[in-house]
A and B are shown apart, each in its own frame.
Chain A
Amino acid sequence: MANDEVILLDFWPSMFGMRLRIALAEKEVKYEYKEEDLRNKSPLLLQMNPIHKKIPVLIHNGKPVCESNIAVEYIDEVWKDKAPLLPSDPYDRAQARFWADYIDKKLYDSARKIWGTKGEEQEAGKKDFIECLNVLEGELGDKPYFGGDNFGFVDIALIGFYSWFYAYETYGNLSTEAECPKFVAWAKRCMQRDSVAKSLPDQHKVLEFIKVLRKKYGVE
């Protein structure tokens, strides 16, 4: 694997990009990080993800892998000698895929309503978001991580959202510590991992970014 060329096309606040940063860090894979300007996408991005034109894109020896959860599984399968990200048992693996898919289906849209809308729509978003987190708390139970004793696929799929929590709390006027204390405890545990701490942006920086977005969308 010494001559592997790994490039990550990413955008610093993206909780989806963070998944790949964390996975690559867990596997200790050297890669080149390329920051994309989403208002002015690079020819490389458009070439590597012509269908969705979205980040993140993992480019391994010139070949692109798109869709963040798919790319994390790819990373796990290729760099299989270190830090397994998915469980070894097929049933546990199926559960991990189920929950990563749940996060993709449910969390982003409701969270977006919290910072991106007002009034009734925002209230609905808040409710859905908290409900989602409560469901995830139920799944976590008393385990230290979603993967059990080991940090893994579902933890990686979810933790990036934590970097947006200060923004959700500010614009949504909610206290995640009060509404989902187990979730916050889990998140703080994950933040103690090097791979996570180095991959997530500062929450205040994210807040500033959202502030600009809100002005753009006329919500501010």
Chain B
Amino acid sequence: MSGVKLLGINGSPASRRVEWALKIKGVEYEFIEEDLQNKSQLLLESNPVYKKIPVLLHNGKPIAESLVIIEYIDEVFEGPCILPKDPYDRAIARFWAKFLDEKLPAVWKALWSQGEEQEEDKKEAYEVLKVLDNELKDKKFFGGDGIGFVDIAANFVGFWIGIVEEATGVVLVTSEKFPNFCAWRNKYLNCDQVKENMPSREMLLGYFKSRVQAVANGPK
């Protein structure tokens, strides 16, 4: 029961965040791809509260919730620091990671929104992006000069949004509206850490395009 196992999903931002943290620390781990339509006994036992991925198993002991897992990885394994050392900077990093997680549903909703609700949903998403844009005004990355905890947490807004926009045709992010965010995203997508730690863009695009099709064909 020793070693590190990760119950996750290839195309899930939360799962990819954890893999990214493990790679930063150079930790060897076994990745177990879960089927959400047919969850494994191990997953149900390891995360009885939410029954969700990702779940990290370290020497058989489970930890759930991606941001909690990343903090654990940072504390337990040697290697480059993921969270800042200074307590105030840590509090700020935790604040932004939490903000990203809490606001993700609003952005996701706007990407898939149709009809009358779309304008209202887009407005809410714009508010979130405006806040992020503002935060990135004088910074290269959320973490400052280098990638940090918040940038890892921001993988959904950094990598996934663009792909879903392409699949659905709903455009939320423009450089006119959110210049700082776009500047960050360009650097983000071009840096090695991101390239190595994100799933295949083609694979995700294909997946989302088929979802768009399913929605179009679905019950009205």
Question: Are the C-beta atoms of A70 and B69 separated by less than 8 Å?
Answer: no
Q: Is B140 an interface residue (CB 8 A)?
A: no
Cα distance, A95 to B47, chains bound together (Å): 12
Question: Are the C-beta atoms of A66 and B95 separated by less than 8 Å?
Answer: yes
A67-B98, A91-B63 known; A98+B91 contact, CB < 8 A: no
Question: Are the C-beta atoms of A102 and B49 separated by less than 8 Å?
Answer: yes
List CB contacts (< 8 Å) of B165-218 with chain A.
none
Q: Is A94 an interface residue (CB 8 A)?
A: yes
Among the listed A63, A78, A98, A102, which residue makes an inter-chain contact with B63, where contact means beta carbons less than 8 Å apart? A98
Question: Are the C-beta atoms of B69 and A94 separated by less than 8 Å?
Answer: yes
Among the listed A74, A95, A98, A102, which residue makes an inter-chain contact with B90, where contact means beta carbons less than 8 Å apart? A74
Q: CB-defined interface of B62-94 with A at 8 Å, one 1/0 digit per residue?
A: 011100110110011000000000011011001
Q: Which residue of B lies closest to A49 (CB)?
A: B95
> Measured between C-beta atoms, what is the minimum distance from A154 to chain B in Å?
13
Question: Are the C-beta atoms of A73 and B72 separated by less than 8 Å?
Answer: no
Q: Which residue of A lies closest to B75 (CB)?
A: A90
A51-B131, A74-B88, A98-B68 known; A91+B95 contact, CB < 8 A: no
Among the listed B72, B90, B91, which residue makes an inter-chain contact with A91, where contact means beta carbons less than 8 Å apart? B72
Interface SS majority for chain A: helix
Question: Are the C-beta atoms of A63 and B88 separated by less than 8 Å?
Answer: yes
Question: Are the C-beta atoms of B68 and A101 separated by less than 8 Å?
Answer: yes
Number of A-B contacts (CB under 8 A): 53
Question: Are the C-beta atoms of B95 and A90 separated by less than 8 Å?
Answer: no
Interface SS majority for chain B: helix
A70-B91, A73-B94, A74-B88 known; A51+B72 contact, CB < 8 A: no
Q: Is B123 an interface residue (CB 8 A)?
A: no
Residues of A within 8 Å of B39, CB to CB, are none
Residues of A within 8 Å of B91, CB to CB, are 65, 70-71, 73-74
Residues of B within 8 Å of A98, CB to CB, are 63-65, 68
Q: Is B58 an interface residue (CB 8 A)?
A: yes
Among the listed B61, B64, B87, which residue makes an inter-chain contact with A77, where contact means beta carbons less than 8 Å apart? B87
Question: Are the C-beta atoms of A77 and B90 separated by less than 8 Å?
Answer: yes
Q: Is B99 an interface residue (CB 8 A)?
A: yes
Q: Which residue of A lies closest to B74 (CB)?
A: A90
Residues of B within 8 Å of A94, CB to CB, are 63, 68-69, 71-72
List CB contacts (< 8 Å) of A38-85 with chain B.
51, 60, 63, 65-67, 70-71, 73-74, 77-78
Q: Is A97 an interface residue (CB 8 A)?
A: yes
A77-B90, A91-B61 known; A97+B95 contact, CB < 8 A: no
Cα distance, A95 to B71, chains bound together (Å): 11
> Measured between C-beta atoms, what is the minimum distance from A95 to chain B in Å?
8
> Measured between C-beta atoms, what is the minimum distance from A120 to chain B in Å?
24
A67-B95, A73-B94, A98-B63 known; A93+B88 contact, CB < 8 A: no
Most B CB within 10 A of own CB, among A77, A98, A135: A98
Residues of B within 8 Å of A74, CB to CB, are 87-88, 90-91
Question: Are the C-beta atoms of B94 and A70 separated by less than 8 Å?
Answer: yes
Question: Are the C-beta atoms of A90 and B49 separated by less than 8 Å?
Answer: no
Cα distance, A65 to B89, chains bound together (Å): 10
- With A94-B68, A94-B69 given, name 6 new contacts (CB 8 A): A90-B72, A91-B58, A93-B75, A95-B63, A97-B71, A98-B63
* Chain B interface residues toward A at CB < 8 A: 49, 58, 61, 63-65, 68-69, 71-72, 75-76, 87-88, 90-91, 94-95, 98-99, 131
* Chain A interface residues toward B at CB < 8 A: 51, 60, 63, 65-67, 70-71, 73-74, 77-78, 90-91, 93-95, 97-98, 101-102, 135
What are 15 A-B contacts defined by CB distance under 8 Å?
Answer: A51-B99, A51-B131, A67-B95, A73-B90, A74-B87, A77-B87, A77-B90, A91-B61, A91-B63, A91-B72, A94-B68, A97-B65, A97-B68, A101-B65, A101-B68
